[in-house]
């Protein structure tokens, strides 16, 4: 393999894939990136066996070939070279030589054939969706994913096609976030769970415009972005029946100004217990009292004007869960629907059902 | 100058053993110890057993040698926890400043309660009365101006004692006591002090710096303060549990993995039951392994979400044990322990199982109720039983 490339052209794909190069890898080759040079481009692949990223850069290929080299070291070298430097890369024996100006580096390699790649994912369906739409679906739900939960199927995001809509759902068992987008095209119903790591990596890559192709296989999801191909294994498990925990009876619904509610929660939270983050809401006709106290016996209390004519309810929550939901809803006002002081509540934009946030109360 | 503090140290008399004697009249008046098997240690000894020189933490084998007619009772930790809750409820009727040291022992700062309830002696008597009325158990109370002296005082007239130490009788009370009543003086230090010779608290109070410094170093001053009955440590209420654990020393060292799993399940059941009794969940599960040669190590892993279910704790514990066994195969094990740490109140119900405590189950709750009534050995998972033990 022999190629020549400008510093910036090589930096971009390396930076795009470096997130999945494991620092504490179980297999030495996972610290490497796979370089495949042919037809005027080099494809850079990184994997942690769960998520695979392939990014492509245009280069001058003198001799086609493929090899793996330590990913972080190659990135650090490119980064440290001067702007607009010209880099020539060539393989000599078991080493990869990287030269630029008066700098010369010789990196160890491992054979490309040993690098684990995911080729065909046997996609059952392929969905066309705009980057903005998919980005929104992730952004509005990702924060509710569980982390290292023994219920491994919660450590990811549910991606679901249902009729003509694409839906994401995340839950850690304490709260749940759901967001859906109308794609206007009938799709086969399917549910897949994308692991947490894949979701966070995908979010890092998004931000552009244009259409994406989302391919769903039985074990993988693959998304083709501009110049980058994202592939993630799926979590093999059944996502809980989330519809069952979304409150349907909304007779005790209040409407509040989102900004004022959020600010009141943030102030009250200062004196909540740092560990449990518990906050008490006392809801009565057109008014809400927010209360928190901590082990030092300090107390905070706020009064908030709301629109409410339902039953008087006293309920406790982890304030972080309410703040996360209020941060994700995009409207001036929000609706908070309650059943009673022990049951989960539903937060959303008034009259809109495309984003739903369910929060389980706390015992205070 | 601030007002002198009034501190109570309340210590239940032979707590576990007394609870057993209370609940089972046939044990009353007899030597009783609470503890596990012949290789375990005495967790508590009744006063009748103490006559034979039996003390808590003594190996059960020694205890049996001293008193062959000893009545051994298996521990019922969650039951003692429940009785302890009743006792602590009495403390909190007099002051919010309660620092529990264990299930059966606490410091109370009643300085601010004197105006409400009368002087310190009145409060101490009333606490003893209420404990006796509600639990039929006796407590010994020490009253002093600090924790150090209160704790020493509570021990002077056990059982059912009440000793008040004031500035006027402090020296007369402390001076003649053996020097090891001062906390921090263990076997080694004691032997060195005897050589000086320092035998009583008075000797320690009057000893020269030149003699004490080689022994206590920078703690010389503090040690002398203690001997003079000076201690300004505050009573820290809401001292939360750092960890809850159960461990067992085996009659015969274990070499078989299945045997270890079986004991691990018993231990997980005890630890999880105690977590549930306290309405706590553990964010980390820890195991302790002591090899036949007494080398001891601990291993831990996070539990997400935090839980208190027997099966949850057990699964985490066997994963840890199996990892250890993979590293050290074939090593005989003398003791195993299972603990939960990073404890938190079980305050957040789950969306998908709102009626259950985190990780717990209806089965766990039913087992807890039966064990509370009939003892920790009354009911257990069949997998945790020794085939020879099932009758």
List chain B residues with CB under 8 Å of A294.
Answer: none
- Among chain B residues, CA nearest to A239: B352
List chain B residues with CB under 8 Å of A149.
Answer: 304-305
- Among chain A residues, CA nearest to B306: A149
Mean pLDDT is lowest, of A44-58, A156-170, B174-188, for B174-188
Residues of A with CB under 8 A from a CB of B: 146-150, 171-176, 240, 245, 275-276, 278, 295, 318, 342-344, 358, 360-364
**What is the least distance, in Å, from the CA of A178 to any CA of chain B?**
14
**What is the least distance, in Å, from the CA of B364 to any CA of chain A?**
19
List chain B residues with CB under 8 Å of A364.
Answer: 347
Q: How far is CA B150 from the centre of its chain?
A: 19
How many other CB atoms are there within 10 angstroms of residue A251's CB atom? Answer: 10
- The span from the CA of B157 to the CA of B175, in Å, is 16
Whether pLDDT at B357 is above 70: no
Catalytic residue among B20, B99, B105, B247: B105
**A360/B350 Cβ within 8 A:** yes
**B312/A240 Cβ within 8 A:** no
Question: What DSSP character marks residue B178?
Answer: B
Report the candidate in B9, B3, B18 with the shortest Cα–Cα distance to residue B123. B9
- The span from the CA of B84 to the CA of B81, in Å, is 5
Contact B16, B135 (CB under 8 A): no
Share of chain A above pLDDT 70, in %: 99
**What is the least distance, in Å, from the CA of B354 to any CA of chain A?**
8
Whether pLDDT at B377 is above 90: no
Residue B379 has a pLDDT of 80
Which residue of B307, B315, B348 is in closest CB contact with A174?
A: B348
Fold match, B171-227 / B243-389: no
Residue A275 has a pLDDT of 82
**B345/A245 Cβ within 8 A:** no
Instruction: Classify burial at A104, counting beta carbons within 10 Å of its beta carbon; exposed 0-12, middle 13-18, buried 19 or more.
Output: exposed
Residue B47 has a pLDDT of 93
Residue B39 has a pLDDT of 67
Share of chain B above pLDDT 90, in %: 49
List chain A residues with CB under 8 Å of B350.
Answer: 173-174, 360
Whether pLDDT at A97 is above 90: yes
Contact B277, B373 (CB under 8 A): no
Burial B277-311 (b: 16+ CB within 10 A, else e): bbebbbebbbbbbbeeeeeeeebbeebbbbbbbbb
Whether pLDDT at A355 is above 90: yes
Residue pairs between chains A and B whose CB atoms are closer than 8 Å: 55
- The span from the CA of B246 to the CA of A219, in Å, is 43
Contact B250, B39 (CB under 8 A): yes
Which residue of B305, B344, B351 is in closest CB contact with A275?
A: B344
Whether pLDDT at A337 is above 70: yes
Once rounded to an integer, what is the mean pLDDT over residues A123-135? Answer: 93
Report the candidate in B96, B78, B77, B83 with the shortest Cα–Cα distance to residue B131. B83
Tokens of A351: 């009259």
Tell me which residue has tokens 């009545």. Answer: B71
List chain A residues with CB under 8 Å of B352.
Answer: 173, 240, 245
* Strand B162-164 to B139-144 pairing: parallel
Whether pLDDT at B148 is above 90: yes
Instruction: Give the dihedral sign, CA A144/A150/A156/A159.
Output: negative
List chain A residues with CB under 8 Å of B239.
Answer: none
Residue A279 has a pLDDT of 96
**A344/B354 Cβ within 8 A:** yes
Whether pLDDT at B75 is above 90: no
Strand (E) positions, chain B?
Answer: 7-12, 32-35, 42-45, 71-73, 98-102, 105-109, 139-144, 162-164, 243-254, 280-291, 296-307, 333-345
ipTM: 0.79
Contact A217, A122 (CB under 8 A): yes
Contact B235, B99 (CB under 8 A): yes
Task: Find all residues with CB under 8 Å of B135, minimum gap 6, and list them.
Answer: B22, B83, B86, B87
Confidence class for position B368, pLDDT limits 50, 70, 90: confident
**How is domain B243-389 classified at the architecture level of CATH?**
2-Layer Sandwich (3.30)
**What is the least distance, in Å, from the CA of B90 to any CA of chain A?**
21
B105 assigned to active site: yes
A contact test, residue of B236, B241, B279, B352 with most A CBs within 10 A: B352
Confidence class for position A363, pLDDT limits 50, 70, 90: confident
Q: In what order do the strands lie in the sheet containing A287-293?
A: A299-305, A287-293, A278-284, A313-318
Task: Identify the three-state secondary structure at position A112.
Answer: helix
List chain A residues with CB under 8 Å of B345.
Answer: 276
**What is the least distance, in Å, from the CA of A273 to any CA of chain B?**
12
- The span from the CA of B286 to the CA of A306, in Å, is 48
- The span from the CA of A238 to the CA of A226, in Å, is 32
Query: DSSP letter string over B330-350?
Result: T--EEEEEEEEEEEEE----B
- Among chain B residues, CA nearest to A296: B238
Which DSSP helix (H) or strand (E) runs through B218? none
Which residue of A173, A295, A318 is in closest CB contact with B305?
A: A173
Q: Where are the domains of chain B?
A: 171-227, 243-389
The CATH number of the structural domain formed by B171-227 is 1.10.150.20
**A318/B348 Cβ within 8 A:** yes
How many other CB atoms are there within 10 angstroms of residue B190's CB atom? Answer: 14
Confidence class for position B183, pLDDT limits 50, 70, 90: confident
List chain B residues with CB under 8 Å of A276.
Answer: 344-345, 347-348
Angle at the Cα of B309 (from B305 to B312), degrees rounded to 5?
65
Tell me the pTM.
Answer: 0.68
Q: Over chain A, what is the mean pLDDT? A: 94
**What is the least distance, in Å, from the CA of B306 to any CA of chain A?**
9
| C-alpha dist (Å) from residue A195 to A146, A158, A192, B374 | 10, 9, 10, 46
Task: Identify the three-state secondary structure at position B29.
Answer: coil
Which residue of B304, B315, B354 is in closest CB contact with A360?
A: B354
Once rounded to an integer, what is the mean pLDDT over residues A13-35? Answer: 89
**A150/B305 Cβ within 8 A:** yes
Residue B234 has a pLDDT of 86
List chain B residues with CB under 8 Å of A152.
Answer: none
- The span from the CA of A146 to the CA of A195, in Å, is 10
Confidence class for position B1, pLDDT limits 50, 70, 90: very low
Whether pLDDT at B390 is above 60: no
Once rounded to an integer, what is the mean pLDDT over residues B72-79? Answer: 87
Residue B355 has a pLDDT of 57
Describe the crossing of helices B77-92 and B257-277 by its angle, rounded to 10 degrees. Answer: 20
**B349/A240 Cβ within 8 A:** no
**A362/B348 Cβ within 8 A:** yes
| C-alpha dist (Å) from residue A159 to A152, A216, A297, B309, B320 | 16, 10, 44, 31, 34
Residue B239 has a pLDDT of 57
Whether pLDDT at B359 is above 70: no
Which DSSP helix (H) or strand (E) runs through A165? strand A165-171
Q: What is the dihedral of CA A28, A34, A35, A38, to 10 degrees?
A: 140
Q: Over chain B, what is the mean pLDDT? A: 88
Once rounded to an integer, what is the mean pLDDT over residues A93-112? Answer: 95
Once rounded to an integer, what is the mean pLDDT over residues A102-109? Answer: 96
Which DSSP helix (H) or strand (E) runs through A253? strand A252-257
Report the candidate in A170, A173, A355, A359 with the shortest Cα–Cα distance to residue A278. A359
Contact B125, B131 (CB under 8 A): no
Which DSSP helix (H) or strand (E) runs through A190? strand A190-195
Once rounded to an integer, what is the mean pLDDT over residues A250-273? Answer: 94
Whether pLDDT at A57 is above 50: yes
Query: Using one digit for the tens of pLDDT, what is the confidence trace for B104-125?
Result: 999 999 998 888 888 999 999 9
List chain B residues with CB under 8 Å of A172.
Answer: 305
Query: Using one digit for the tens of pLDDT, what is the confidence trace for A192-241?
Result: 999 999 999 999 998 778 889 999 998 999 999 988 999 999 999 999 99
Contact B87, B135 (CB under 8 A): yes
Residue B2 has a pLDDT of 58
**What is the least distance, in Å, from the CA of B302 to any CA of chain A?**
9
Which DSSP helix (H) or strand (E) runs through A189? none
| C-alpha dist (Å) from residue A171 to A174, A354, B2 | 7, 16, 54
**B304/A146 Cβ within 8 A:** yes
- The span from the CA of B351 to the CA of A244, in Å, is 10
Task: Identify the three-state secondary structure at position A278.
Answer: strand
- The span from the CA of B73 to the CA of A24, in Å, is 51
B contact test, residue of A144, A146, A174 with most B CBs within 10 A: A174
Q: In what order do the strands lie in the sheet containing A190-195?
A: A190-195, A156-162, A165-171, A175-182, A355-359, A345-348, A333-338, A252-257
Residue B389 has a pLDDT of 59
> Which domains are delineated in chain A?
2-114 (3.10.150.10), 125-244 (3.10.150.10), 252-359 (3.10.150.10)
Residue A25 has a pLDDT of 62
Tokens of B325: 């066994």
**B350/A276 Cβ within 8 A:** no
**What is the least distance, in Å, from the CA of A173 to any CA of chain B?**
5
Residues of B with CB under 8 A from a CB of A: 238, 302-305, 307, 312, 315, 344-345, 347-352, 354
* Dmax (CA) of chain A: 79
Tokens of A40: 């005027």
């Amino acid at each position: 393999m022999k190629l020549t490339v400008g510093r910036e052209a090589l930096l971009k794909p390396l930076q795009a894939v470096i997130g999945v190069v494991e620092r504490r890898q179980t297999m030495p080759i996972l610290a490497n990136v796979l370089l495949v040079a042919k037809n005027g481009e080099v494809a850079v692949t990184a994997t942690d066996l769960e998520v695979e990223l392939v990014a492509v850069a245009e280069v001058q290929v003198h001799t086609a070939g493929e090899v793996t080299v330590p990913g972080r070291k190659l990135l650090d070298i490119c980064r440290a070279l001067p702007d607009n430097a010209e880099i020539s890369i060539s393989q000599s024996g078991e080493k990869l030589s990287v030269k630029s100006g008066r700098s010369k580096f010789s990196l160890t390699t491992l054979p490309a054939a040993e690098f684990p790649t995911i080729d065909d994912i046997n996609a059952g369906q392929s969905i066309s969706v705009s980057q903005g739409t998919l980005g929104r679906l992730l952004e509005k739900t990702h924060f509710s994913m569980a982390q290292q939960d023994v219920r491994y199927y919660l450590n990811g995001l549910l991606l679901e096609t249902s009729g003509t809509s694409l839906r994401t759902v995340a839950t850690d068992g304490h709260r749940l976030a759901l967001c859906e987008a109308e794609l206007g095209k009938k799709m086969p119903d399917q549910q897949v769970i994308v692991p947490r790591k894949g979701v966070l990596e995908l979010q890092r890559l998004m931000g552009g415009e244009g259409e994406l192709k989302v391919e769903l296989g039985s074990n993988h999801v693959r998304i083709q972005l501009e110049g980058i191909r994202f592939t993630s294994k799926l979590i093999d498990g059944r996502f809980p029946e989330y519809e069952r925990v979304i409150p349907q009876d909304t007779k005790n619904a209040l409407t509040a100004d989102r900004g004022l509610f959020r600010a009141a929660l943030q102030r009250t939270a200062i004196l909540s217990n740092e560990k449990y983050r518990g906050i008490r809401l006392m809801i009565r006709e057109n008014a809400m009292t927010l209360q928190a106290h901590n082990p030092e016996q300090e107390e905070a209390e706020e009064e908030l004007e709301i629109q409410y004519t339902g039953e008087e309810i006293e309920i406790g929550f982890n304030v972080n869960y309410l703040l996360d939901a209020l941060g994700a809803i995009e409207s001036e006002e929000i609706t908070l629907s309650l059943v009673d002081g022990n049951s989960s509540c539903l937060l959303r934009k008034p009259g809109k059902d495309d984003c739903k946030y369910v929060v389980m109360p706390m015992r205070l | 100058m601030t007002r002198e503090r009034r501190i109570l140290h309340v210590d239940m008399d032979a707590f576990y053993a007394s609870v057993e004697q209370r609940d089972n009249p046939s044990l009353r008046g007899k030597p009783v110890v609470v503890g596990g098997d012949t290789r375990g240690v005495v967790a508590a000894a009744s006063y009748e057993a103490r006559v034979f020189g039996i003390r808590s933490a003594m190996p059960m084998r020694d205890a049996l040698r001293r008193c062959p007619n000893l009545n051994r009772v298996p521990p019922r930790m969650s039951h003692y926890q429940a009785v302890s809750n009743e006792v602590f409820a009495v403390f909190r009727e007099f002051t919010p400043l309660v620092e529990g040291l264990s299930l059966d022992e606490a410091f109370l700062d009643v300085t601010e309660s004197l105006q409400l309830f009368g002087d310190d002696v009145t409060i101490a008597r009333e606490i003893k009365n209420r404990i006796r009325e509600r639990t039929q158990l006796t407590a010994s109370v020490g009253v002093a101006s600090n924790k150090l002296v209160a704790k020493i005082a509570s021990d002077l007239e056990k059982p059912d004692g009440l000793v008040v130490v004031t500035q006027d009788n402090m020296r007369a009370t402390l001076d003649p006591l053996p020097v090891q009543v001062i906390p921090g003086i263990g076997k080694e230090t004691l032997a060195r002090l005897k050589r000086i010779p320092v035998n009583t608290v008075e000797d320690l109070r009057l000893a020269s710096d030149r003699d004490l410094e080689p022994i206590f170093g920078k703690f010389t001053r503090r040690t002398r303060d203690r001997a003079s009955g000076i201690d300004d440590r505050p009573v820290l209420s809401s001292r939360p549990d750092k960890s809850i654990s159960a461990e067992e020393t085996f009659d015969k060292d274990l070499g078989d993995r299945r045997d270890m799993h079986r004991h691990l399940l018993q231990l997980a059941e005890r630890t999880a039951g105690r977590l549930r009794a306290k309405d706590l969940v553990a964010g980390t599960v820890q195991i302790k392994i002591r090899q036949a040669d007494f080398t001891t190590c601990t291993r831990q892993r996070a539990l997400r979400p935090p839980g208190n279910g027997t099966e949850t704790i057990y699964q985490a514990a066997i994963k840890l044990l199996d990892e250890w066994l993979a590293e050290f195969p074939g090593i005989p094990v003398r003791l195993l322990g299972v603990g939960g740490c990073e404890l938190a109140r079980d305050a957040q119900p789950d969306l998908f199982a709102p009626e259950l405590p985190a990780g717990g189950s209806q089965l766990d709750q039913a087992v807890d109720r039966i064990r509370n009534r009939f003892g920790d050995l009354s009911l257990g998972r069949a997998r945790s039983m020794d085939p020879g033990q099932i009758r």
